[in-house]
Structure 1
Amino acid sequence: MTVSKLPSPVWLFDLDNTLHDASHAIFPAISANMNTYIARVLGDGTTPASQDAVNAARVGYWKRYGATLLGMIRHHQVDAADFLRRTHDLGALSELVRFERGLSRLLRRLPGQKILLTNAPTVYSGGVVRHLGLQRHFAHHIAIEDMRVHGRLRPKPSKLMLRRLLRKHGLVPRRCILVEDTLVNLKHAKQLGLRTAWVTQYLRYADPIGKAPLPKMVKRPAYVDVKVKSVLQLPLRLQRLR
């Protein structure tokens, strides 16, 4: 009797707080840049907006649209490229990036194609991936600028964007595994039939400005197939992702 071989999976890897510790220094730096940018846009042209107004806009747009940028575009007509360039102007990434050793070996060990799928801009995410030494492992690098549907930005957790991505690359949802730190992204992916892996070790806060602490015990939701502390544990959980 011939045993049919399972097709190789396609891994969709998030970047920040999945493959490296963005909460350590990068997110605080981006947050500071974003505060400055939003304060200027919301100000009266002379005086920047107050910190309370800035925080309300950042969190409110993030909760409503899944990304602060989308709210800034819709309600304040900001230029997406300008916003992304200024908020991700971080200087030397080598001084900010913190990550585990063994990531290259991990990606080499996992069966199947790997795709980088990040809500970060191309210049920044490309710089981080090069610093991590992982660029050769990804068949595709899909950044936020690539997440357009009918001309509009539709970053994660957009199911419309995910459907289009799957069609464009000829991917069957059940073969794909989304590896993420953000639960809403995993939830929407699961609704489309993807398998899901939740990475938790770099999660420190429950909100995008780093004020609300995470619950002490966060259980694995039903839409998460595998919960791991580190991506390095994925090979041990392959059976649950088949």
Structure 2
Amino acid sequence: MSHKTWIFDLDDTLHHASGGIFAHINLLMTRYMMRHLNINEEEATALRSRYWAQYGATMHGLSTNHGIDPQHFLIETHPLEVLAQWLQFEERLAESLSALPGRKIILSNGPQHYVEGILDKMRIQHHFESIYGVERLNYIPKPHLHAFQTVLSKEGLDPARCIMVEDSLPNLLTAKEMGMTTVWVSQEARKPAHVDYRIDKIAQLQRLNLS
């Protein structure tokens, strides 16, 4: 039987975005919203958080409710060379990915230039056959079903033969409902019902013998 296909998230899955990258992106998003929506910092921060919770991405809320151009917003708030100073990832990440049999795909809510740039700086881009930033999802982010369906359709994949590796529980819930095997990257001890496996780091994937 052929190997399964690995679908990886990027931020806080393959690298530690919460170590500084996310904080700076959030700051840039807040400033962008202050300028373009003419609101103060407190209002922008609250709206950013609400849209992220409601839509899965602040960008989606801004384009849906305010007509903000998503591409302009993403370019302004994801300056790769600035964000790269906080890049943190596992020392043997490339080796861990090489050890996994089967195709590997990136499915991220981040913009394409950022996703490809971070992978390149980690020197792991060649491990992935396809890379999906949010533009390639028609700007409809995870956990929306459409995001997953877009990738499955374009890649000709059966969800029952896919393994979703993610730090986000809402994203894993959609993946599980579609029939994928779910792996949660988290330091938490709990394992919700829609999570098949929980790992602390990517290096632990090989021992699960999933593919």
TM-score bin (small chain)? over 0.9
Amino acid at match of 2:15: H
The alignment partner of 1:156 has SS state of: coil
1:51 aligns with 2:46: no
1:231 aligns with 2:177: no
Alignment of structure 1 residues 42-121 onto 2, 5 Å? 42-43=37-38, 49-121=39-111
Asked whether the equivalents of residues 7 and 175 of structure 1 are also in contact (C-alpha less than 8 Å), the reply is: no
Q: Of residues 20, 23, 40 in structure 1, which corresponds to 2:35?
A: 40
Q: Which ranges of 4 or more aligned residues in structure 1 deviate by more than 4 Å?
A: none
Q: 1:142 to 1:235 in 2, by over 3 A?
A: same
Number of residues of Structure 1 aligned to a counterpart in Structure 2: 211
Identity %: 39
Give me the whole-angstrom Cα distance separating, in 2, the residues matched to 1:93 and 1:68: 18
Asked whether the equivalents of residues 180 and 199 of structure 1 are also in contact (C-alpha less than 8 Å), the reply is: yes
Counterpart of 2:2? 7
Alignment of structure 1 residues 155-234 onto 2, 5 Å? 155-201=141-187, 219-234=190-205
Give me the whole-angstrom Cα distance separating, in 1, the residues matched to 2:84 and 2:134: 22
The alignment partner of 2:50 has SS state of: helix
Asked whether the equivalents of residues 24 and 83 of structure 2 are also in contact (C-alpha less than 8 Å), the reply is: no
Counterpart of 1:209? none
The alignment partner of 1:23 has SS state of: helix
TM-score after normalising by structure 1: 0.83
Q: Of residues 7, 13, 23 in structure 2, which corresponds to 1:18?
A: 13
Asked whether the equivalents of residues 159 and 178 of structure 2 are also in contact (C-alpha less than 8 Å), the reply is: yes
Larger Rg: 1
Amino acid at match of 1:165: V
Counterpart of 2:124? 134
Name the Cα RMSD after superposition: 1.4
TM-score after normalising by structure 2: 0.95
Higher helix share goes to which structure? 2
Asked whether the equivalents of residues 18 and 181 of structure 1 are also in contact (C-alpha less than 8 Å), the reply is: yes
Amino acid at match of 1:83: F
Question: Structure 2 regions of 5+ residues with no counterpart?
Answer: none
Asked whether the equivalents of residues 29 and 90 of structure 1 are also in contact (C-alpha less than 8 Å), the reply is: no
Question: Structure 1 regions of 5+ residues with no counterpart?
Answer: 1-5, 44-48, 202-216
**Offset from partner CA, 1:49-90 (integer Å, 9 cap, x none):** 222211221111112211111110111111111000001025
